[in-house]
Structure 1
């Protein structure tokens, strides 16, 4: 009887273990399906936005299917770009979901002096240095640590997030969010959001900038007409965030465009394509001549790869 009772308890324990395993599998499958469902819902939402913006995209003043918006609150600013890129979703998503590749993108920006990706727990951190529009030692640039995360990656949707608690000039809560989904014609529809917040010190610093060297700089949104009939573009904090949102989008576009080149030629193509892209909007984005930009960025890229002193 004892043997039978022992055998029964063993069978009962084994059955209970099987139940737990089945439950775990079901829960895991449910989690995967939940993420897939979220990705599908987000993809459908992004494609619905594409349908909503079809006419503005077709009539875009930017010379490409792109719509730019911005907003300002009491303690922050946000810039949003919705655009079509001439790359299949699978290729674009594969190229935009690796942290090291985001450093290749960010370094194109004239004020980004360095970027290095490293592992941090289950995610990655991008050590980014922000500086002036000239060759600058890294110890004189401002360090911003972006937490990098692929929030979603499915066959029909990609979302990548870069978040930083602190930034230069008293700014904080930096957020760069990229969303992408496939649309008709083998193209990819992208939403890029760039935002940051500021306190009193940050606002005062930005006002000082806008009252001096940034006084004549403008964004892209048209808010009126000047006396001579020319469009009046947005200035102030919204102008700042619009310029940088456009710079980062053009960096993404240049990065994707260079993938067709041989690996050894991609850096030069990215640099030249990005500079050519910003020069299409000189009123907002012209900062320096091409030779000056190329010389500076070639040095910064070598430093980023560890080939030059920091």
Structure 2
């Protein structure tokens, strides 16, 4: 009897292992099919959005195929840009949605923004993390800026759809729930339609800080959307917090465009190409985005990029 059990046990164990492996494979297949179906649905939805914006992308004041909208919620702000970039979808996907190189590439995107003082990509137990310092639009030390930790999530990647998310639970001055989300689909051999979202929430301290800024240094700042002036009835650019989120959403969109545009340059020329292209693009909208001179911006960013290569 003992010998019989010894003989049958390996076969029984193999059967159990085979059953377990089959069950795990079935679950994996179901999850894969669900993820594929979700990506296909998102791609179809983004394609519908692209077709619905045909007129807005062709006729707008941005001098490029672009559509922008923003929302002001009770304790949150959100900006969305839909635009067509002249780069193949495969290049966009491989550059910004790659688990290995994507985080570092996003750092090179984010550092173009005037308020980004530093960005370093690393790997944690939960995945890739971007340590980003946010500060003034002029040069300053890292110790006087704010550190925000973004988690990097390459959510979806397929031959016709990508989605990558950067999220941070907390930020400076009681701001929270930061999200930078980019999704994209191909719309031709060498063109990509992207949807960029920039959003964050805020508490009492954040609300006070924004009101103080908008009442002082930012009192003359405006966004890109227009609304009737209550006193005159004439159309004017919006200001306030919606103008604030629209300006930053546009800066990040132009940073993505500038980064992708520099990839065709020799490696040692890409930084200068990115910086000059980003600055020139923002100067197309001086009423909203002009802050410093070209020389000051280039010098500041060269210094910050050098610091980014060495500081931790």
TM range (shorter): over 0.9
Question: SS of 1:62's equivalent?
Answer: coil
Cα pair 1:131 1:140 within 8 Å, conserved: yes
CA-to-aligned-CA distance 1:140-159 (integer Å, 9 cap, x gap):
11111111111112222111
Structure 2 residue aligned with 1:158, among 158, 162, 171?
A: 162
Residue 220 of structure 1 is matched in structure 2 by 224
Q: CA deviation at 1:170?
A: 2.6
**Is 1:288 matched up with 2:288?**
no
5+ residue gaps, structure 2 = none
1: CA distance, partners of 2:309 / 2:68: 33
**Is 1:31 matched up with 2:31?**
yes
Q: CA deviation at 1:274?
A: 0.1
CA-to-aligned-CA distance 1:230-285 (integer Å, 9 cap, x gap):
74001000000000000000000000000010111000000000000000000000
2: CA distance, partners of 1:290 / 1:2: 86
5+ residue gaps, structure 1 = none
After TM superposition, the structure 1 = structure 2 runs for residues 101-112 of structure 1, keeping only pairs within 5 Å, are: 101-112=105-116
CA-to-aligned-CA distance 1:65-124 (integer Å, 9 cap, x gap):
100000001101100000111111101111112100000000000111100011111311
Question: SS of 2:140's equivalent?
Answer: coil
**Is 1:85 matched up with 2:89?**
no
5-14 vs 186-195, greater mean Cα deviation = 5-14
TM-score normalised to the size of structure 1? Answer: 0.94
After TM superposition, the structure 1 = structure 2 runs for residues 58-137 of structure 1, keeping only pairs within 5 Å, are: 58-97=58-97, 98-137=102-141
Change (3 A) 1:230 1:247: farther
2: CA distance, partners of 1:109 / 1:5: 70
2: CA distance, partners of 1:231 / 1:290: 31
1: CA distance, partners of 2:26 / 2:36: 15
Question: SS of 2:114's equivalent?
Answer: coil
**Is 1:167 matched up with 2:171?**
yes
CA-to-aligned-CA distance 1:192-213 (integer Å, 9 cap, x gap):
0001111122111110110011
Q: CA deviation at 1:54?
A: 1.2
12-21 vs 236-245, greater mean Cα deviation = 12-21
2: CA distance, partners of 1:161 / 1:8: 52
Cα pair 1:219 1:243 within 8 Å, conserved: yes
276-285 vs 124-133, greater mean Cα deviation = 124-133
2: CA distance, partners of 1:251 / 1:226: 35
CA-to-aligned-CA distance 1:43-83 (integer Å, 9 cap, x gap):
11111111111111111220111000000011011000001
2: CA distance, partners of 1:229 / 1:256: 41
Q: CA deviation at 1:14?
A: 2.2
1: CA distance, partners of 2:121 / 2:254: 21
Question: SS of 1:151's equivalent?
Answer: strand
Residue 139 of structure 1 is matched in structure 2 by 143
Residue 17 of structure 2 is matched in structure 1 by 17
After TM superposition, the structure 1 = structure 2 runs for residues 166-185 of structure 1, keeping only pairs within 5 Å, are: 166-185=170-189
Question: SS of 1:186's equivalent?
Answer: coil
